[in-house]
Chain A
């Protein structure tokens, strides 16, 4: 087995993505359909929350992904800053729009769920607020990539922004534990059997989470490959202009 750094070679990355992408895409579609259809059609209502418990199959996976996509971007940004692998910086750039959508889904479904349960669409609760800030960091990250012409400078500055934003990604996950106040409940999934949700809800939830993870992997492969191809085209056009 070769070193992981082989995948920093754009040609090797594109070849790997061509093999991996169809399989991960099929897995993503299958797990998403099974998880969401099971959750929506075949789970009972919760004794306190009624049918709104069905929102959990979208809200929890998207919120988990919103945080973990940022951590993936943090790791790839650190690899860029330390080892200067272009594929790594482009993978972080490719992941950001996926993170935006995941954060937006988590915020939207949270607000829609909050209205009937808490009596309000929004509260300045620690977890909700840190999630909103994370969303703004995602937008700022994408805007910074677009605002800078030199790709290496853009990768450097966005990597620094990613490190700073990681504070809010951590806060989004642990805000409830840090402040122990606000409307939002603690973690839905827990290793503690007493705290964890019932199996009848958790099995389709785990499948939905797997679906969101596979979807992310498929999209990040596709979008990183797109970024590599765009950069190669830009280099060829620049060479054409020079004659």
Chain B
């Protein structure tokens, strides 16, 4: 299944690994921050309602 990358295998694979890791970290941090912000807003609105 793996394509034959020849002598450039390290360059191609490291490009994909670095890029995918950076994209996953960006998405994970964005989702985490979104969840935290939503929970904090809900708590603040609940306190406001009494």
**Could you tell me which A residues sit within 8 Å of B by CB distance?**
36, 40-41, 45, 50-52, 54-55, 58-59, 62, 97-98, 101, 104-105, 108-109, 112-113, 115-116, 215, 219, 222-223, 225-227, 229-230, 232-233, 236-237, 239-240
A215: chain B residues within 8 A (beta carbon): 23, 27
Contact A52 B1 (CB under 8 A): no
Contact B45 A236 (CB under 8 A): yes
Contact A58 B44 (CB under 8 A): no
Contact B30 A219 (CB under 8 A): yes
Contact B41 A229 (CB under 8 A): yes
A-B contact count (CB 8 A): 102
Contact A105 B6 (CB under 8 A): no
Contact A225 B3 (CB under 8 A): no
* B interface secondary structure, majority: helix
Chain B residues touching A, range: 20 to 34
Chain B 27-47 per-residue mask, 1 if CB under 8 angstroms from chain A, else 0: 101110110011011001101
Chain B 12-33 per-residue mask, 1 if CB under 8 angstroms from chain A, else 0: 1011101100110111011101
Contact B3 A51 (CB under 8 A): yes
Please pick, from A45, A223, A229, A239, the residue contacting B30 in the complex, using a CB distance under 8 A: A223
Contact A225 B34 (CB under 8 A): yes
**Distance, CA A108 to CA B9, complexed state (A):** 16
List 13 A-B residue pairs with CB atoms under 8 Å apart, sorted by A's residue number.
A41-B3, A51-B6, A52-B8, A52-B11, A55-B11, A55-B15, A105-B22, A108-B19, A108-B22, A109-B19, A112-B18, A226-B30, A239-B48
Contact B11 A40 (CB under 8 A): no
Please pick, from A40, A108, A115, A233, the residue contacting B40 in the complex, using a CB distance under 8 A: A233
A104: chain B residues within 8 A (beta carbon): 22
Contact A108 B18 (CB under 8 A): yes
B6: chain A residues within 8 A (beta carbon): 45, 50-51
Contact A113 B30 (CB under 8 A): no
Contact A58 B15 (CB under 8 A): yes
With contacts A229-B38, A236-B48 known, is A58 near B8, CB below 8 A?
no
Contact A101 B23 (CB under 8 A): yes
- What are the 10 tightest A-B residue pairs by CB atom distance, in nearest-first order? A236-B44, A229-B37, A51-B5, A58-B19, A226-B37, A55-B15, A226-B34, A109-B15, A229-B41, A101-B26
A227: chain B residues within 8 A (beta carbon): 37
